[in-house]
Each structure stands twice: as C-alpha cells, then as structure tokens.
Amino acid sequence: MTAAGPTVPATSRGPWATALNRLAHDRTALVALAVFVLVVIACLLAPVYAWWAGVEPFKSTLDAVLTIDGVQQPVMELPTTGLALGYTPIGPTWRPGNYFLGADNQGRDVMARLLYGGLNSIIIAGTATGFTLIFATLFGLLAGFFGGVIDMILSRILDVLWAFPVYLLAISLSIVLITQGLSIGPFVIDSGSLWLPIFIIGVIYIPYIARPVRGQVMALRNSDFVMAAIGLGAPSHRILWKDILPNISTTLIVFVPIMMALNMLTESALSFLSIGVQPPDASWGTIIQDGQGLLYTRPAVALAPGFMIVISVLSLNVFGDGLRDALDPKSKIKLGRA
Amino acid sequence: MTYAVLQRLGQMIFVMVGISMLVFLIFFGTPGVDPAARIAGRNASPEVLQAVRISFGFDQPFYVQYLTMMKKIFVTGDLTSFVNRGWKVVPAVLDTVPVTLSLVIGAAILWIIFSLIIGVLAAAYRDTWVDKVLMIAGLIGISMPVYWLGEVMNLVTQSRFHDTWLFSWVPPLGYKNLMDDPKGWFLTLIIPWITLSILYIGLYGRVLRAAITEALQEDYIRTARAKGLSETRILLRHALRTSLIGFVTLFGLDFGALVGGSALLTEVVFGLQGVGKLTFDALQNLDLPVIMTTVLYASFFVVLANAVVDVVYIILDPRVRAP
Amino acid sequence: MILQVRDLRVTFRTEQGMVRAIDGVSFDVEEGEVLGLVGESGSGKTVTLLAVMGLITDPNCVITGSIKYRGRELVGLPSREMRKLRGREIAMIFQDPMTALTPVYTIGWQISEQILAHQKVSKRQAWTQAIDLLTEVGIPKPEEAVHRYPHQLSGGMRQRAVIAMALTCNPALLVADEPTTALDVTVQAQILDLLRSLQQKHGSSIIFITHDLGVMADLADRIMVMYAGRIVERSTNAGIFTEPRHPYTQALLDSIPPMEGARPNRLKTISGAPPSLLNLPQGCAFGPRCPYKFDACAAKPPLGAEAHATACFLESAQ
C-alpha cells in the first residue's frame, strides 16, 4: 500500500507519558502516594520534634518529670493498685511535645521514638529495595542474555535462594551477622549498623525479582529487534543498555512500591524478633517489641508503631496497584511473594 | 510424565544439597569469628570450646566439617545443645512439629474457605462496590504485620474485653495437646488461627479475583456463554476451575513455608511451643545447633512441599499431565 | 424468515471517545439459507454476530435497533430468556478452535454439558449423544475422542468438536465466525465440506463470516459486504461474483488470484488502509480510497431495499 492512510488517532503519545497520564487520573493511587509522602516527611522531622519537645529518645530517662497544666508528674509512675511492683511508664497525655503517646519502660518519649523509628524503617526498606533491584537486574540480565553456563550457574543459585524460606534465611544470616558484624577484607560493618538489616533483607528477595527479569530478558533476547541488532554486530553491552534495559524498566518500576511494602513488613518482623535494628536504635518493629511487655498496661506503645506500619504499607500497596495498572494495564507482572 | 516427575525429584535433591551447603557456609564460613565459639554460645569456658572443636572437626578440612555436620543432623541425630547442656536437639525439634501443624492446618482451612468466598464474590461483582470493599479489606489484611495483629488480638481477647460475654471463653495463652484435651486444643487455637489466616485470606482473595477476571476474558468463556450456560455455572465451573491451578500451586508453597518456620511470629505472640517458637527461643540464647537444625529441617520440608506441589500441578492440569 | 435485523447500531465508549462499530445495519436471514458476511477486520462482522447472540457483555457498549428471531425481539431481552435461546435455537462456531474450548475438561464433558443445559436427559444419555455427534462431524474413533482434552486434538479435529457442540440441540440458526481462518488450507476445505453437508442434512440457516471472498463462492446463497460498520453491497452469490457494483466489492474481487489463465505479475491491491472507527470520514466511509469518488460522496450513501442493493451514489448517477 503506497498511498497515505487515514490520519493516525491523536493518542500516539509515548508509553511513559500515557502511563503518567493514566496515573494522574487515578485518584486512589494519588491519595495513597500523598499519605506515604506525609509519613516520610513526618519521620524526617523526627530530630526537629525531639528538639522541640526537649526529649532524648535514645537515652534512658527514668527520672524525667513532665508538667501538665502546671502540675508536675514523674514519667515513671508507681502503681497505685495491686502489688505495686516496679514502675509503670506514663500513658498518653495527648499533648503534642509532651509525651503525646506516653513513655516506654525506659522513660523515653514514645512519639519521638516513633518518628525516629519510622525513619529507620523507611530508610532500610528503601535501601534494601534498591539493593534487591540492582542485584536482581544484574543477575537477570546476565542469566537471561548470555544463557549457557552463566545462566545455569546463576539460575541454580537463584533456585536455592528461592527454595530457602525467607524468614529462615534471614534468621540464619542475622544470627551470624548481627552478633559479630561482617568483615570482608577492607569492608567492616559493625554489628549494630543499619547496613546489616539492609543487606539481609536485600539478599533474601533477590530471586523474587531476578527470576521474572530473567524470563523477560530471555524473551527479549529472542525477539526480532534484538536478533537484528546482534546480526548487525552491535556489541552486547550496547544491546543490553539500549534495547533490553529500557524494555524491562516498567517491570522494575512496578516492583518498587510493592517491594518497599514487603521490605517494611520484613524489617519490622526481624526487628521484632530482635535480629533487625539493634538497640539503642529504634524501628517500628523494635518499638512494638518494647511495647509487648507493656501491652495490657500501656497498649499505645505497641499499637502506635503498628498503625504506622499498616498505614505506610497499605498506602504503598494501593499506590503500587495504581502504578501497575498505569504502566502495565494487562497486568503481565505477577506480584513477588512473601 | 514419569520423566517429568523424576526430573523434578532430581532438582529437589540438588536444591536440598544447595541449601545445606549455604546454611553451612553462613554458619561456619562467615569470616570473622571462631565457629566453635558460635556453637558453644555466650561465655563458653575454654574446655567447652575445645570439646566443640573436636566434636565438629574444626581442625579438619572444610568438606569434612560439612559432612560431620550433616551426619550429626540427619544420620545420627545426636547433635547436642551447648547452651542447654546435653540437650538432644533433633528430638526436641521433632517434638514441636505437632504444635506447628495444628496451627497451620487450622489456619489453612480458614483461609481456603474465606479466600474462595471473597475471590469468587469479588469476581462475580467485579467493578461494583462489593468488589471494591472486598479488595480494600484484602489489601488491609495484607498490610498488617501478623505479630502486631496477634498482639491486638491478645489485647482485646485477653485483657480489654476478656470479661465480656464476647471473649470470656478465650483460654489463657499456650498450647493444649489435642489428644489430652481436644476442647482446650480447639479453643486455644481459634484466635491464632484467625490471626494467621487473615493475611492469606486477603492475599488469596485478591489473587483469585485477578485470576478469575483474567479467565473470564478468555475465548472459552465466550464459548460457554454461547452454549447457553448460566453465569453462575460459567463462573464456577469454567473460570474458577481454570483459576484453581495457580491457586493450588500458591497454596502448596505457602503451606510449606508456614510449616517450615514462617508461622514463627504467630507462635511467638501466642506462646505456642512450635518449630518457630523453638527457633525464636534459640535465637534469644544464641543456641546455634538448635537454629541450624530447625533451619535445615524446615527448609527441607519446604523444598519437599514445593516438589509435591509440582506433582499435584501435573495431576491438576491436563495440558501437563497428558501432552 | 428466521432472523430480521433492522437499523442495528453498536457503540462502544472508550478512553478515546465513542466508537461506532456498527452503524445502521439491516438484513434478513431466510429459513435454510446460508448468508455470507464479508469484510476486512474491523468492518464490524464479528460485532454484528455477537450482537445477534447477545454475547456483548462489555458494560461500555450501547446496542440500539432491532434484532428479531422468529418474530421475537432479542435486543433488550432478559439474559435468562436469551440464555434459553443460545445454544438451543442459535448456536455459534468460533474462529480459533485452539482457545474456544475450556482446557481442563474433556471434549465429551463439554459437549454433554451443553446437552444437559438444554435437554432433560441423564448424564449417560448426554454422553451417548456426544459420541453420536462426534461421529456425525467425522471425528475418527469418537468413543476415544470424548475422553480427550482439547490440547490433545489437532486444530481441525478441535474445530469439528466445536461444530459438534454447536449442533447438540439441532439449532435453527448457526452463526459461524471465520471458522476456517485459523486452520491449514487442506483442513479448511474439509471443514467447509462438513458445514455444507450438515447444512443440507439439517436445513439450519447459517450466517457465515469471512474476510476471504473465495470461501464464499460455493457455500453462500446470498452475500453481504461490510465496510466500516455498514453494509455496502448485498446480493445473491452470483450477483456479487458476476456483477459487483460497489467499488469496494470490485476491488475485493480484483484482489483474488484468478483460477484460470496466466498468473498476473501483481495482484491489484486496494490503496490506503481501512479507516479508524474513531475517526470515520464524513460521508461515504470508502471515499478516501475510492477511485470513482465524486461530489455526491460527501453524504452517506443509503442501501436500497432491492434484491441486489448497493450503498453507492455511482448507481443513481449513471
């Protein structure tokens, strides 16, 4: 057919623009994103809050005293009923900057710790997501593109990691690393460092992303346009960079919020089991653990961080749903499993 | 078909060996500290350290150490804890299995029933408010940390509302043996079952809804409509039936993972002395032999469960069964 | 008259705006007649059939006009009533036998399911009927084939199974959507032979869709040519092949390789591409590709009611 056809419909925008446009019309996803951004901002302001409230969230302050309506009150109260064994931290005062959510069993301001802990939770979840994505993409690209022996070795390693139950692998890594830290040659990581939970969480989820990436790369490797590029003698690194990576980038981006949510849950669980963030540092998981002993007397200590986790993870998941619908309307990408 | 099954079994054995080597490497190959000190636990005396060194062959080549370790765990089963002196680890681990199975099987029954109901309802009323409410509820279920949910459950049923008619039946935390006290067994497990199943109800409900909706786009659904079948029949006998293949696969994987330790958080919160709680306690005293044993046994169980799932898949899907 | 379609319009709401897939289509199907429906992909053939079957489930679709089956209005008929007609009175054969059968059930199961949905018979009787039907459509060893899963049969055998399923209740109207397109050329001929002999035996009416005019030549009694959601020409088989009047029909016929004589160096093609339904030209939709376009074509040409009717202004201009 030689003659010019009828006009092309006016919707031939690029795929990214189309996706952004779709996302911009998804009110639920935008609200979810806004909620998560608000949580992040609040946690970033943790030092400001601590300074304003005049509390030290990482030091035991059993003898602190606070003033409510001109009345002075110790942070650790002697129980007035029962056997009066030990002290009970003060409950929520619901006064911002003044032990809003009460104190924990060290007399520390729970609200300030909640914000600091959230900061750690978000940093760990985000960095671990980056770690997982980078290494999974690398593995997936190498295995899928070069095939042969490289694929066989990498795939077998991924098989083993995949079959290894996530929590057991995390526990195995943690018990060794958290107690002694890691030192490989010049790299030394302290046992209390945030890098350890990041590394652990980042490693355990690599196969969940590397496997689908490998599959996609293999399909692309055998597609006509890549075959043509190879036939024309384009070097491998150029094909990987110019032809393959852009085509798997939607998959990778769709994984980001989902993995963030999954990592937040994993981090909190590991910290709850005392093999994640180490004291005196806090994360939402460690605060819930602190609150376990106070559950029936001062439930706010355990409840508040849990609510924060639910809000953050839920908003990430909702946003992730919207992002997937926008980027991948036919939903070819299956969710990585916990 | 026989070939496929044999191939799958071969792969299973390969993965098991891989996992055992990986565990061995993590525990004894991580650079930094004397592995004997790790085994012996905190503040071990020099005599104990020496005994550990000889018993595990740490003065011998690496592969001998690996084989010694595997022999102790799988063949002779005489691995002992050094934290709890002389405690035989393997029988202790096996003792906790019934508790974990009780917890996981009950939760699995709950989550299969409710996720089927939710998934089918949401797919039948897709894009209406019923669908939206169910899917948001499912998403909330997925977003809650299970141990925190357990604590909230405890707070409500053991403390705040325990003295009301609603929860006065809830017994104190702990596990009752099924054989000795069937009623107590059932009552103590109800709340843990609900807690553990909520995540999976949400997850499976969503997965099932997506699978059914996808199946409803297929050509064979149009054929079924052209045959004059009722919508209910099309939904249940055609769309749901084809979606169940993926559902069963997923179920096998999760069931295996839960029995193999992922139920640990629930066990810890409800004080159920299962495999996970044993691991958790060992984690608190850094009792490495116990952790190594539970990790190895549990991951082998998971690998086995995965293999079983694949065989079931062969049976469920005629395209694989009889090519 | 078994089916009477009047001014059928099917519109889809999409992200890009309203798409009118069918734009005022009217036709009749007589008892025992084979009606051919020809057109390029996107011309609205399949949508017309799905509308007749009541199989358009898209909530963003609006159907107006009238479809009468033996005098009974189908547009707006409650789905429960429609269901009783589907599979019993009106049956459908689909384009791709690879995907038209549910993969997890045997052929026998799927055929007896339809029998059980419409007839009060036992499962055993339904099963026997299924074997009889498979025999009738020429599947070898039918007692074994009933136990086969769809993926275990070849494409041609699968299409025979689909036809057997359509015939279960001896429907008065059979609707076939390109039933041979997805098959090998040799198998195509066999399936066409089968359809022809079944039609002669049972006397059902058939609406047969294809984009391949050649397939129509010795099957259809009458032929309708569709373009961009409208019927552009309607005539008897002979009328279309010997005396095509619409420029589009002429172009279609020119693009078929001749059966006799020297092979031409190049087959004629139709210049341009089918218009996007989103952006139909004003007036005659074929106008932009038509070599005879003139002033009158700025309006939409109507289709006459005569036996050989053409929606083209050239007729009246001559």
pLDDT tier at A329, thresholds 50, 70, 90: low
Neighbours of A21 (CB within 10 A): 13
Q: Is the pLDDT of residue B121 over 70?
A: yes
- Is residue A93 one of the residues assigned to a domain? no
Cα of C213 to nearest chain B Cα, Å: 25
Cα of C9 to nearest chain B Cα, Å: 21
- When pLDDT is averaged across residues B99-119 and rounded to a whole number, the result is 93
- Residue A9 has its nearest CB partner, among C16, C270, C271, at C16
User: Which of B1, B218, B225, B234 to substitute to test the interface with C, most C CBs within 10 Å?
Assistant: B225
pLDDT value of residue A13: 60
- Is residue A265 one of the residues assigned to a domain? yes
Residues of B within 8 A of A290 (CB-CB) are: none
pLDDT value of residue A7: 36
3-state secondary structure (DSSP) of residue B81: strand
Q: Is the pLDDT of residue A314 over 90?
A: yes
Which chains would you list as touching A if contact means 3+ CB atom pairs under 8 Å? B, C
* % pLDDT > 70, chain C: 96
Give the residue with greater pLDDT, C241 vs B45: C241
First-to-final CA distance of chain A: 53
pLDDT tens track for A212-254: 888 888 888 888 888 888 888 888 888 888 888 888 888 888 8
Interchain CB distance below 8 Å, C94 and B219: yes
Q: How far apart are CA B83 and CA B44, in angstroms?
A: 9
pLDDT value of residue C317: 63
- When pLDDT is averaged across residues B170-176 and rounded to a whole number, the result is 81
Cβ–Cβ pairs < 8 A, chains A and B: 144
Q: How far apart are CA A27 and CA A5, in angstroms?
A: 38
Are residues B251 and B312 in contact, defined by beta-carbon separation less than 8 angstroms?
Answer: no
Q: Mean pLDDT of all residues in chain B?
A: 84
Interchain CB distance below 8 Å, C100 and B229: no
Q: How many domains does chain A have?
A: 1
Give the residue with greater pLDDT, A197 vs C276: A197
User: Which of C289, C290, C293 to substitute to test the interface with A, most A CBs within 10 Å?
Assistant: C289
Task: Locate the chain A residue with the closest alpha carbon to C272.
Answer: A5
Interchain CB distance below 8 Å, C278 and A1: no
Cβ burial of C258 (10 Å; 0-12, 13-18, 19+) is exposed
- Residue B228 has its nearest CB partner, among C87, C94, C149, at C87
pLDDT value of residue A81: 58
pLDDT tier at C284, thresholds 50, 70, 90: confident
- Partners of A74 in the β-ladder: A65
Are residues B299 and B21 in contact, defined by beta-carbon separation less than 8 angstroms?
Answer: no
* % pLDDT > 70, chain A: 83
Q: Is the pLDDT of residue A131 over 90?
A: yes
- Is residue A98 one of the residues assigned to a domain? no
Task: Locate the chain A residue with the closest alpha carbon to B41.
Answer: A179
- Partners of A109 in the β-ladder: A103
pLDDT tens track for A246-294: 888 888 888 999 999 999 999 999 999 888 888 888 899 989 988 888 7
> What interface predicted TM-score (ipTM) does this complex get?
0.86
Residue C291 in contact with partner chain A when CB distance is under 8 A: no
- Residue A6 has its nearest CB partner, among C269, C270, C279, at C279
Q: How far apart are CA C14 and CA B164, in angstroms?
A: 55
pLDDT tens track for B2-27: 777 788 888 888 888 888 888 888 88
Interchain CB distance below 8 Å, B223 and C152: no
User: Which residue type, as a one-letter code, is found at position A16?
Assistant: W
Residue C114 in contact with partner chain B when CB distance is under 8 A: yes
The single-letter DSSP state of residue B207 is: H
pLDDT value of residue A184: 66
* pTM, full prediction: 0.84
- When pLDDT is averaged across residues B135-139 and rounded to a whole number, the result is 91
- Is residue A151 one of the residues assigned to a domain? yes
Q: Is the pLDDT of residue C260 over 60?
A: yes
Which chains would you list as touching B if contact means 3+ CB atom pairs under 8 Å? A, C
Q: Please report, for the domain that includes residue A237, its CATH number.
A: 1.10.3720.10
pLDDT value of residue A334: 41
pLDDT value of residue C39: 84
Interchain CB distance below 8 Å, C278 and A9: yes
- Residue B226 has its nearest CB partner, among C59, C84, C86, at C86
- When pLDDT is averaged across residues A122-148 and rounded to a whole number, the result is 91
HSE value, Cβ hemisphere, 13 Å, CA-based, for B320 = 13
pLDDT value of residue A319: 93
* % pLDDT > 90, chain B: 26
Continuous H helices in C140-184:
142-145, 155-167
Burial state string for B117-151 with b = 16 or more CB within 10 A and e = fewer than 16: ebbbebbbeeeeeebeebbebbbbbbbbbbbbbbb
Q: Mean pLDDT of all residues in chain A?
A: 80
Cα of B143 to nearest chain A Cα, Å: 5
- Is residue A233 one of the residues assigned to a domain? yes
Q: Is the pLDDT of residue B323 over 90?
A: no
pLDDT value of residue A10: 41
How big is chain B, counted in residues? 323
- Residue B227 has its nearest CB partner, among C59, C114, C151, at C114
- Residue A6 has its nearest CB partner, among C15, C270, C276, at C276
User: Which residue type, as a one-letter code, is found at position A177?
Assistant: L
Provide the pairing of β-strand C222-227 with C230-236. antiparallel
- Is residue A155 one of the residues assigned to a domain? yes
Cα of A239 to nearest chain B Cα, Å: 33
Interchain CB distance below 8 Å, A164 and B145: no
Residue A231 in contact with partner chain C when CB distance is under 8 A: no
- When pLDDT is averaged across residues B139-155 and rounded to a whole number, the result is 91
Residue B231 in contact with partner chain C when CB distance is under 8 A: yes
Task: Locate the chain A residue with the closest alpha carbon to C290.
Answer: A3
Cα of C247 to nearest chain A Cα, Å: 17
Tokens of A194: 């945030």
Residues of A within 8 A of C270 (CB-CB) are: 1
Give the residue with greater pLDDT, A67 vs C221: C221
pLDDT value of residue C262: 67
Helices (H) and strands (E) in chain A, counts: 13, 6
Residues of C within 8 A of A6 (CB-CB) are: 272-273, 275-276, 279, 281, 288
- Is residue A169 one of the residues assigned to a domain? yes
Residues of B within 8 A of A272 (CB-CB) are: 145, 147, 265
Interchain CB distance below 8 Å, C114 and B223: no
pLDDT value of residue A317: 92
Interchain CB distance below 8 Å, B306 and A274: no
Chain CA centroid to CA A260, Å: 3
Residues of C within 8 A of B228 (CB-CB) are: 83-88, 114, 117-118
Cα of B293 to nearest chain A Cα, Å: 11
Cβ burial of C160 (10 Å; 0-12, 13-18, 19+) is buried
Least confident of A96-110, B179-193, C88-102: A96-110
- Is residue A40 one of the residues assigned to a domain? no
Provide the pairing of β-strand C34-38 with C205-210. parallel
Q: How far apart are CA B317 and CA B232, in angstroms?
A: 22
Q: Classify residue C270 as left (phi > 0), alpha (psi -120 to 50) or beta.
A: beta
- When pLDDT is averaged across residues A14-25 and rounded to a whole number, the result is 80
Q: Is the pLDDT of residue C132 over 60?
A: yes
Domain that holds residue A138: 125-285
Tokens of B70: 């595997």
3-state secondary structure (DSSP) of residue B77: coil
pLDDT tens track for B291-305: 888 888 888 888 888
Interchain CB distance below 8 Å, C100 and B220: yes
pLDDT value of residue A337: 34
